[in-house]
Amino acid sequence: MKEFHVTGTCNPDRHYMVDISGRIEQITRDYIDKGKYFTINRARQYGKTTLMFLLRRYLLEKYIVISISFEAADELFVSSCALAAGLQRSIGRQLRMQEVPEAIVKGWEAPISKEFPFDDFSERISQLCLQCGRKVVLMIDEVDKNSDNQIFLGFLGLLRTKYLAQAGGMDQTFQSVILASVCDIKNLKLKLRPDEEAKYNSPWNIAEDFNIDLGFYPQDIAGMLTEYEADCSTGMDIAAISQLIYDYTGGYPYMVSRICKLLDERIAGHTDFPEKKDAWTDEGILEAVRLFLKEPNTLFDDMVKKLSDHPELKSMLQDILFRGIRYSYEIHNPSINVGIMFGFIRERDNSVVIANRLFETKMYNLFLSEAELDGEQRSNPAPVRNQFVVHGMLQMRLVMEKFYEHYEEILKNSSDKFIEEEGRRIFLMYLRPIINGSGNYYIEAQTRDHTRTDVIVDYKSQRFIIEMKLWRGNAYNERGEKQLFEYLDFYKKDTGYLLSFNFNKKKQTGIKEILLDGKRIVEIVV
């Protein structure tokens, strides 16, 4: 019986996984068969290692394939001699496994010159590629583990020199070289000497741009779930479930597989979801999202570390999330470049947006948790959760009414400028402990800007639509009300909530109801 897999390489013989055979064929046709050298640089746990595994298996029908990893290979980079000898051993083992003639393997394994290890190693590559009868492809995973090492830079220089010589008819070398990494090896920032300022300096400028999308789309997820459904017969609506998983994950491979694994192994059989057919529902996915956001995992651990290491990126993300500030997409902006490289952000309509709901909600939770530690939050403690839940149902109107009282207390001790900039953060900080543990929330990214933010709250089987906006006059407010009524139609809900932050000197605060065509908006003006 297959299972969903999230640690290490996925194998289609043993795991439920998205079919990426079309992408494997495209990489082979457009890059490898054409003799291109390239780097597959994607975020952590984005399927690079699995891609390399499946690509190697596919290429073996036509090529000699040398596949190595620089993970846990620090001892290779103590000297040029160590690297040349280590690669010689590793490649020699793979040549034997691919039934390369013994005479060729013995020639490859002859002792490396200690005086000129890279020059000798270069000659071995030439002889191998001339003699073995098939073209040779070199694949290196985790190549950025030692990317700050001068010896690594020398190794890249060797590959570049041979590539250029082969193009000029003066050498024989690998048909294609594929480097997989998080960082873009084409843009290495290295200190060549300890006392030298870091500079961009990489000999890998021969590499072609790799533009194949490795993310999963709803139809990709549906293919995986179709195979699962054939085995398990849950009766799920495959198209709808695939779309909902995509809505939360944005197609991030690890997130897709983890949500599916939680549904199959932890949620199915739970009291609220006694059978598999109960788990593969909208409610089951919301529970999987809740568990995913709550559990420790290496992806979020890495996110927290990266945000700590890159404070300017963190500041930009906080501006986007809490203040609705728009940042134009410019890949040469270091903070934006780093955010793209780590998979936290992406480009949409020439603007920077958070990559998916799961990253976004985790960032909200992280930033709000950090804010809870400050003195202001301790002086305005969050409300007791129990008063808002009756017979397991969240009383959202009461939540909004009590927030009005909570906000008025905060306003007494804060300036209008502070409240205008931090109002949405204050509301989310108030809301989070109320729904935490039983519900989820996310921000509708397409409506988020400096003046408007829509919050979607899912609490067990309930869904609530809350629009937060800055007051910009009666006409603007009426347009906001109309937009919210349209939003309620889209979500098929009868009641919505409008939280207006009004900073006019003659403002009228309070709570009122607006009725239209059988739908209700509860408006709270603070």
Confidence of residue 194 (pLDDT cuts 50, 70, 90): very low
CA distance 406 to 402: 6
> What type of residue is 463?
R
pLDDT at 363 (0 to 100): 96
CA distance 137 to 160: 15
Listed range (70-79, 182-191, 465-474) with the worst mean pLDDT: 182-191
Confidence of residue 381 (pLDDT cuts 50, 70, 90): low
Domain count, the chain: 3
Task: Give domain status of residue 156, yes or no.
Answer: yes
φ, ψ dihedrals at 492, nearest 5°: 55, 50
Quick check: 23 pLDDT over 70? yes
Average pLDDT over residues 154-167: 95
Among candidate residues 110, 39, 38, 95, the one with its CA nearest the CA of residue 63: 95
49/159 same-domain check: yes
Quick check: 375 pLDDT over 80? no
Average pLDDT over residues 296-317: 96
132/276 same-domain check: no
Choosing from 186, 206, 226, the residue where a domain stops is 206
Choosing from 343, 371, 399, the residue where a domain stops is 371
87/161 same-domain check: yes
Listed range (20-34, 57-71, 308-322, 466-480) with the worst mean pLDDT: 466-480
φ, ψ dihedrals at 260, nearest 5°: -65, -40
CA distance 526 to 523: 10
For residue 450, the SS3 value is coil
Confidence of residue 366 (pLDDT cuts 50, 70, 90): very high
CA distance 70 to 140: 7
Task: Report the predicted TM-score, pTM, of the whole model to 2 decimal places.
Answer: 0.90
226/354 same-domain check: no
The CA distances from residue 25 to 22, 28, 177, in Å, are 5, 5, 16
Average pLDDT over residues 377-387: 63
Residues spanned by the domain of 262: 218-295
Contacts of 473 (CB under 8 A, 6+ apart): none
29/102 same-domain check: yes
324/286 same-domain check: no
Helices (H), 98-188: 102-109, 117-131, 150-167
247/102 same-domain check: no
For residue 153, the SS3 value is helix
pLDDT at 486 (0 to 100): 84
CA distance 389 to 395: 6
Confidence of residue 470 (pLDDT cuts 50, 70, 90): confident
Higher pLDDT pick, 18 / 484? 18
Choose from 11-15, 449-453, 491-495 the range with maximum mean pLDDT: 11-15
Quick check: 259 pLDDT over 70? yes
Task: Give domain status of residue 53, yes or no.
Answer: yes
Confidence of residue 36 (pLDDT cuts 50, 70, 90): very high
Task: Give domain status of residue 134, yes or no.
Answer: yes
Q: Label the pairing between strands 452-459 and 439-443.
A: antiparallel
CA distance 442 to 387: 23
**Residue 185 belongs to domain with CATH number:** 3.40.50.300
Among candidate residues 114, 115, 142, 112, the one with its CA nearest the CA of residue 125: 112
For the chain, give the percent of residues with pLDDT over 70: 89
Choosing from 371, 406, 430, the residue where a domain stops is 371
Confidence of residue 319 (pLDDT cuts 50, 70, 90): very high
